[in-house]
């Protein structure tokens, strides 16, 4: 009888542990993930400067930021040589000397890193309510002097806040251990057009994609700063794709591709079969493959951005 009671007690204990695990004892790091992008254009005489601000946000089980990646792709429509983001430029961005006047002496990437650290643990409302002020005509919406954020970040954060808000608006539920973000930038100076291809991934413990996002900010002027995905039917690809036998708009093809990426590792994404169909259609999914049945656009930049997202995932 004693042995029976002992067995029952062990079984009850095991059941309780299983119940507790199912009800919140999970070790999953991120429960939601989202991405936001804000693009603006400044006229600089005979060329335009395109600024695409990007925010990737991962939330914990309490709805607070547990991961955040911020960056800005600032490119000129007449300069195809410089395709690094502001953060990637590191010391080459040249802000340290200027920021010394604000008493911090930090380069832009250091200020962004500082801001990211301060955002951890915040909710959407917390981010929205960060105290800012207009220091002067050239420095608007900077962290209010005397606040924790202003101690290490004195750059304008308005577009970061806007991109983060879009990330919260676009949240998807996940069970992920890592999140990463990547981007590939190209400039067609003949067309005066900047292409910023972005990709984000949320990975499980096996390094497989649980969630991904792909988009392209293809911008030339201030008249339309929507991304390709945001343009929906306005992008006007459906008629062209009918020649390839699928009749899908750009956003539909990307969504199809994203669906096929689920469960893939970095190696599998890299190994997606592509070929050069013609001079205008290079690195498109190989005919006869699953992906080609719903996606016939070039995916080279998507693969490159995804590779960076895998590499930076944490």
What pLDDT does 100 receive? 87
What pLDDT does 6 receive? 47
Is residue 24 one of the residues assigned to a domain?
A: no
Written in H, E and C, the secondary structure of 116-177 is HHHHCCCCHHHHHCCCEECCCCCCCCEECCCCCHHHCCCCCCHHHHHHHHHHHHCCEEEEEC
Is residue 154 one of the residues assigned to a domain?
A: yes
End-to-end distance of the chain based on CA atoms, in angstroms? 52
Is residue 106 one of the residues assigned to a domain?
A: yes
Mean pLDDT by 10 residues, the chain (314 residues): 48 47 64 98 95 98 98 97 97 92 92 98 98 89 96 97 98 98 96 97 98 97 97 94 91 98 98 92 95 97 98 98
Is residue 23 one of the residues assigned to a domain?
A: no
Is residue 25 one of the residues assigned to a domain?
A: no
50 and 225 Cβ atoms separated by less than 8 Å: no
Is residue 105 one of the residues assigned to a domain?
A: yes
Is residue 5 one of the residues assigned to a domain?
A: no
Query: DSSP assignment, residue 27?
Result: -
CA 285/CA 294 separation, integer angstroms? 9
| Angle at alpha carbon of residue 144, lines to 143 and 148, rounded to 5° | 75
Backbone angles phi, psi at 66, to 5 degrees: -115, -15
Instruction: Look up the domain containing 160 and give its range.
Output: 30-312
| pTM beyond 0.85 | yes
What pLDDT does 26 receive? 54
Q: How many folded domains does the chain comprise?
A: 1
Pairing relationship of beta strands 30-43 and 142-143 according to DSSP bridges: unpaired
Is residue 4 one of the residues assigned to a domain?
A: no
Provide the 3-class DSSP secondary structure of residue 193. strand
What pLDDT does 136 receive? 85
């Amino acid at each position: 009888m004693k042995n029976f009671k002992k067995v029952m007690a062990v079984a009850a204990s095991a059941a309780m542990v299983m119940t507790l695990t199912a009800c919140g004892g999970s070790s999953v790091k991120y429960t939601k993930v989202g991405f936001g992008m804000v693009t603006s254009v400044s006229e600089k005489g005979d060329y335009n400067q395109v600024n695409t601000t990007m925010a990737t946000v991962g939330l914990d089980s309490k709805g607070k930021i547990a991961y955040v990646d911020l960056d800005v792709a600032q490119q000129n429509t007449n300069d195809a040589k410089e395709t690094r983001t502001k953060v990637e430029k590191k010391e080459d961005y040249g802000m340290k000397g200027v920021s010394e006047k604000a008493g911090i002496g930090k380069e832009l990437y250091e200020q962004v890193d500082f801001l990211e650290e301060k955002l951890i643990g915040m909710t959407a409302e917390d981010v929205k309510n960060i105290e800012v002020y207009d220091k002067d005509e050239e420095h608007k919406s900077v962290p209010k002097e005397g606040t924790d954020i202003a101690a290490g970040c004195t750059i304008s954060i308005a577009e970061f806040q806007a991109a983060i808000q879009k990330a919260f608006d676009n949240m998807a539920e996940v069970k992920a251990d890592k999140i990463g973000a990547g981007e590939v930038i190209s400039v067609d100076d003949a067309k005066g057009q900047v292409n910023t291809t972005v990709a984000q991934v949320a990975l499980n413990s096996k390094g497989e994609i649980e969630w991904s996002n792909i988009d392209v900010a293809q911008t030339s002027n201030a008249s339309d700063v929507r991304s390709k995905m945001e343009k929906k039917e306005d992008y006007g690809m459906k008629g062209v794709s009918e020649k390839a036998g699928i009749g899908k708009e750009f956003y539909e093809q990307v969504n199809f591709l994203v669906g096929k990426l689920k469960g893939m590792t970095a190696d599998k994404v890299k190994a997606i079969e592509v070929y050069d169909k013609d001079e205008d259609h290079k690195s498109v999914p190989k005919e006869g493959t699953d992906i080609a049945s719903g996606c016939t656009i070039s995916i080279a930049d998507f693969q490159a951005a995804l590779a960076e997202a895998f590499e930076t995932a944490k």
